[in-house]
Amino acid sequence: MTISIGNDHAGTDYKFAIIKHLEGKGITVTNHGTDASDSVDYPDFVHPVANDVESKKADFGILICGSANGVAMTANKHQGIRAGICWTSEITALTRQHNNANIICIPARYTAVQQAIAMVDTFLETEFEGGRHQNRVDKIPC
C-alpha cells in the first residue's frame, strides 16, 4: 500500500508521527507536506497529494492542517477525490463506508496525535460498503 501525505505548518508534528506509524507497518509513504513550522500555503501541499490519489500513484491520501477545512476544500476540487474531514474514529469509518473517501483530512488543532493515528488506521482498514451508497457516490462529481 502507498499513502500520499501532505500538511501545512499546523500539521507537521502530526505528519511525522503518522509517517513513523505507517512505515512501521510496512506502508510506503510519499511526503508532500512541509517539514517545518513556518507558515505556508496549504494548497501547495494538497494538490500533489490529490494528484497522487487521482493518478493511482497512491492508494489513499492524508491531509493535515489546523481545522482540516482548507485542505478538504482544496482536495475536493479534483474530480477524482472524495476528501472527508474526520475528528473521531466513528466519523472516519462512516466517511469510508458511506462516502468511499479516498483522502482523510485531519484537524490538528482539534485532535490529539494518538487520536489522529487511530483515525488513520480506521481509514485504511475500513471498506466502502457500496450498495445503496454507490449511487450517491456516483453523483458527487460535477
Structural domains of the chain ordered from first start: 2-138 (3.40.1400.10)
Counting as low any pLDDT under 70, the low residues of the chain are: none
pTM beyond 0.95, yes or no: yes
54-75 pLDDT per residue, tens: 999 999 999 999 999 999 999 9
Active site residue 105: no
Q: List, as one string, the DSSP characters of the chain.
A: -EEEEEE-GGGHHHHHHHHHHHHHTT-EEEE-S-SSSS---THHHHHHHHHHHHTTSSSEEEEEESSSHHHHHHHTTSTT--EEE-SSHHHHHHHHHTT--SEEEEEGGGS-HHHHHHHHHHHHHPPP--THHHHHHHTS--
Which residue among the candidates 9, 65, 78, 86 is catalytic per the annotation? 65
